């Protein structure tokens, strides 16, 4: 490994050995326990890292494959990391594959500091729509809900109770960059309830408990749209605490929608009601 400071204040390294301690560190970020300890997460791919840069979020470390094809967006990433005094690392493509866990790794990855996920950081007036997920366990669903939030202009995603880790490689990848555009909060149910009732906010649940057809419901801003666990749905106490319960008609043999899909359907319906004409 060679490391040397650049004139711009960044540090550049070239890694050619699998046993390098930095390779071990980067691989460890694929594990939740190590992510929590380091408070860092890994994101892969030029498009995703470009989305982060355009949102004003620059990786602390930029990792690139030796012999990669040149690209102006990659040049812009390097310049942004260098300007922020970050670290730029180049490594053989086989080593990068070991870091990412993919046989055909994308040519670039980044290490980011985890975001502050406290509820107190959210400004509920920032958007008429917020998404809420309770005990969502699939990182793909979590990433999809972030993408939905971005698509409808939601303020962000609030994760309740024991959800999948939003900073896992799988969730970050599934978000397609929306993890950098959406505010993210993590809380327990009691904490969320107390925070919500301190101010204005309509809590709406996808539910079968005395529901209203989602197309005929009256949505008010800020509207917090809540979906439950993929297999069990929402606990009955959570449903009872909602201001409005809605249902999406099922016209085929299936008796329910995927949790993330249900969240998207509700979000677009609420948007149609709340968006100025």
* pLDDT tens profile 107-144: 799 999 999 999 999 999 999 999 999 999 999 999 99
DSSP string over 45-88: SHHHHHHHHHTT---SEEEEETTPPP-HHHHHHHHHHHHTT-EE
Domain count, the chain: 2
45 vs 5, more confident: 45
Are the beta carbons of 77 and 1 closer than 8 angstroms? Answer: no
* pLDDT tens profile 42-101: 999 899 999 999 999 999 999 998 988 889 999 999 999 999 999 999 999 889 888 887
Distance CA 126, CA 128 (A): 7
Q: Which of 113, 147, 177 is at the close of a domain?
A: 113
Average of per-residue pLDDT values in the chain: 90
Q: Which residues pair with 203 in a beta bridge?
A: 224
Q: Phi, psi at residue 172, to the nearest 5°?
A: -60, -45
Are the beta carbons of 133 and 158 closer than 8 angstroms? Answer: yes
Do 144 and 233 reside in the same domain of the chain? yes
* pLDDT tens profile 27-40: 999 999 999 999 99
Distance CA 243, CA 14 (A): 56
Do 129 and 88 reside in the same domain of the chain? no
Do 38 and 13 reside in the same domain of the chain? yes
Distance CA 26, CA 21 (A): 9
Do 52 and 108 reside in the same domain of the chain? yes
pLDDT at residue 102, rounded to an integer: 72
- Per-residue confidence band for 1, with pLDDT thresholds at 50, 70 and 90: very low
Mean pLDDT of 158-172: 96
CATH code assigned at 29: 3.30.1330.30
pLDDT at residue 252, rounded to an integer: 66
Q: Which of 91, 113, 135 is at the close of a domain?
A: 113
pLDDT at residue 3, rounded to an integer: 47
What tokens does 249 get?
A: 């008609």
Do 96 and 171 reside in the same domain of the chain? no
Do 140 and 252 reside in the same domain of the chain? yes
Is the pLDDT confidence value at 229 over 60? yes
Do 146 and 66 reside in the same domain of the chain? no
Do 156 and 247 reside in the same domain of the chain? yes
Distance CA 42, CA 111 (A): 5
What is the distance in angstroms between the CA of the first residue and the CA of the last residue of the chain?
59
CATH code assigned at 205: 3.40.1280.10
Do 101 and 62 reside in the same domain of the chain? yes
Do 85 and 130 reside in the same domain of the chain? no
Do 97 and 233 reside in the same domain of the chain? no
Q: How much is the pTM?
A: 0.90
Q: Which of 113, 139, 164 is at the close of a domain?
A: 113
Do 123 and 108 reside in the same domain of the chain? no
Mean pLDDT of 4-24: 76
Between 259-274 and 139-152, two packed helices, what is the crossing angle to 10 degrees? 10
Q: Domain range holding 236?
A: 119-274
Distance CA 177, CA 57 (A): 11
């Amino acid at each position: 490994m060679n490391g040397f400071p650049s004139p711009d204040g960044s540090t550049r390294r070239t890694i050619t050995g699998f046993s390098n301690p930095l390779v071990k560190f980067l691989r460890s970020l694929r594990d939740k326990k190590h992510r929590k300890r380091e408070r860092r997460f890994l994101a892969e791919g030029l498009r995703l890292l470009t989305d982060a840069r355009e949102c004003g979020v620059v990786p602390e470390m930029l990792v690139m494959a030796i012999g990669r094809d040149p690209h102006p967006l990659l040049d812009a990433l390097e310049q942004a990391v260098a300007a922020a005094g970050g670290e730029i690392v180049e490594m053989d493509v086989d080593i990068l594959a070991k870091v990412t866990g993919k046989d055909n790794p994308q040519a670039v990855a980044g290490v980011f500091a985890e975001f502050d996920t406290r509820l107190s950081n959210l400004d509920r007036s920032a958007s008429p729509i917020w998404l809420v997920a309770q005990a969502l366990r699939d990182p793909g669903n979590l990433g999809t809900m972030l993408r939905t939030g971005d698509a409808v202009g939601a303020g962000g995603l609030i994760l309740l109770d024991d959800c999948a880790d939003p900073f896992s490689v799988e969730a970050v990848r599934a978000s397609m960059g929306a993890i950098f555009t959406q505010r993210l909060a993590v809380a327990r149910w009691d904490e969320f309830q107390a925070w919500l009732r301190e101010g204005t906010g309509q809590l709406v649940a996808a539910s079968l408990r005395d529901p209203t057809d989602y197309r005929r419901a009256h949505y008010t801003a800020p509207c917090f749209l809540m979906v439950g666990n993929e297999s069990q749905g929402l606990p009955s106490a959570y449903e009872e605490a909602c201001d409005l319960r809605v249902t999406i008609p099922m016209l085929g043999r299936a008796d329910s929608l995927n949790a993330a899909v249900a969240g998207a359907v509700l979000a677009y319906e609420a948007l149609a009601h709340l968006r100025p004409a």
